[in-house]
Amino acid sequence: MIKALSVALLLAFELGGATAQTAPAPAPAMPGIQSQNIADVKPEGSQDPAYATQTNGERSKVQPGNNAPVWREVNSGKAGFSSLPVTQAPEAGVLIQPFVQYPGSSLTNAGDAWRQVRNNWLIPYGGSLLLIVLGAIALFHFTVGPLKVKEELTGRKIERFSYFERAAHWANVAAFLALAVSGLVMAFGKFFILPVIGTTLFGWLTYVLKNVHNFAGPLFAVSLLVVIVTFMRDNLPAKGDLNWLLRGGGLFSGHEIDSARYNAGEKVVFWGGVFFLGLIVVVSGLALNKLLPGLSYDRSTMQIAHMVHSVSNLLMLVMFMGHIYLGTLGTKGALEGMRTGYVDETWAEQHHKLWYDDIKAGRIPAQRTRVANASAHTGKPVQA
């Protein structure tokens, strides 16, 4: 019995001494938290000059449990093995984007750069811009008020929009509203919807809206091209547009500046919002949906496309907010013109006098669409 106890104590002493002489294994290095420095720290007493270049198998003999070489290889951007086809996922074997120290910045890789640009720039400043514009529109509405027809309506109608023009416009409006609502909820919903409905319902909501966004995108692209082709001719720059812009269209003076079928403000929305920003939104959106042929859909491509898509969408939304207001609440009778296609003769003379003068002189027909009851709409509004 005494002999057995002596053997047990001896074994315990030897095991304890061996444990004390073995360097403790450090915690596994995490990506992005100075993993390269942890990987190169030599344990006390190590004299191996090739310590920093050891493989994970070699390192495990010196520091069991230290997988720093694995993370160093992962952070290097070196591609590993993946069963995904390279044509569908060109970076499938790369777990983390390569770590690069950007000059004058604490960012360590492109993923961190994209995340910080989105969270620290696009979301707060983009949201502030939308609120500022919304507040400015509300201030204008309750101080200056909507534009009203000052003279008495004659009851005689002029065809302002053909059926095809209205169909193209409303199709584009429907797709735009679906994209705008879904995009705003996905970008800002966690700040004002998530606290109200909770994570589960918000998760389902964003899942549904994401799919709505993806399917409405191509519809918006097609309808946008139709709108551009349909309305381009009457939105070309003309004499008097600069004067309209310099005087703000007379919105604040109470006397509207004469304009053609579309005033200079509407032309700015068309060329800046519909044509320029609209095409950028469409191209970047198709890239995010992986619908552009010949494009390499790696991480950096998608990150750039996302930032371009977000910025152009915010700017386009700001321009369209003003356009939507002036086309509905801001101008009495404007919505009726886009809904029915016809406006009153007095409305046309006040808001688009040059266009009305051309109709009255016979240079432009008052009724462009041949319908059975055309006389019921036109009457005799433009006879000199």
Residue 268 lies in a domain: yes
Residues 6+ apart with CB under 8 A from 237: 267
**Rounded distance between C-alpha atoms, residue 204 and residue 7, angstroms:** 66
Displacement of CA 334 from its chain's centroid (Å)? 29
Please indicate, yes or no, if residue 41 is contained in any of the structural domains. Answer: no
Q: Which residues contact 331 (CB under 8 A, 6 or more apart)?
A: 146, 147, 351
Is 341 inside any structural domain?
yes
Residue 272 included in any domain? yes
Return the bridge partners of 342, or none. 159
Can you give the pLDDT of all 384 residues of the chain as single tens digits? 444 444 443 434 343 444 344 444 444 444 433 434 444 444 444 445 565 566 656 666 666 666 777 777 776 667 777 777 766 667 777 777 766 555 565 556 677 788 888 999 999 999 999 999 999 999 999 999 999 999 999 999 999 999 999 999 999 999 999 999 999 999 999 999 999 999 999 999 999 999 999 999 999 999 999 999 999 999 999 999 999 999 999 888 878 999 999 999 999 999 999 999 999 999 999 999 988 988 888 888 899 999 999 999 999 999 999 999 999 999 999 999 999 999 999 999 999 999 999 999 999 999 988 765 544 444 444 443
Contacts of range 373-382, beta carbons closer than 8 Å, 24 or more positions apart: 377/157, 377/159, 377/342, 378/156, 378/157, 378/158, 378/159, 379/155, 379/156, 379/157, 380/156, 381/154, 381/156, 381/157, 381/158, 381/345, 382/158, 382/345, 382/356
Q: Residue 208's beta-bridge partner residues?
A: none
Domain of residue 231 covers 152-378
Rounded CA gap, 162 and 338, in Å? Answer: 9
> What per-residue confidence (pLDDT) applies to 52?
59
Q: Model pTM?
A: 0.76
Assess if residue 137 is contained within a domain.
Answer: no
Domain count, the chain: 1
Per the domain annotation, does 108 fall within a domain? no
The pLDDT of residue 58: 67
Report if residue 60 sits inside a domain. Answer: no
Q: Read off the CATH number of the domain in which 330 is found.
A: 1.20.950.20
Domain membership of residue 52 (yes or no) is no
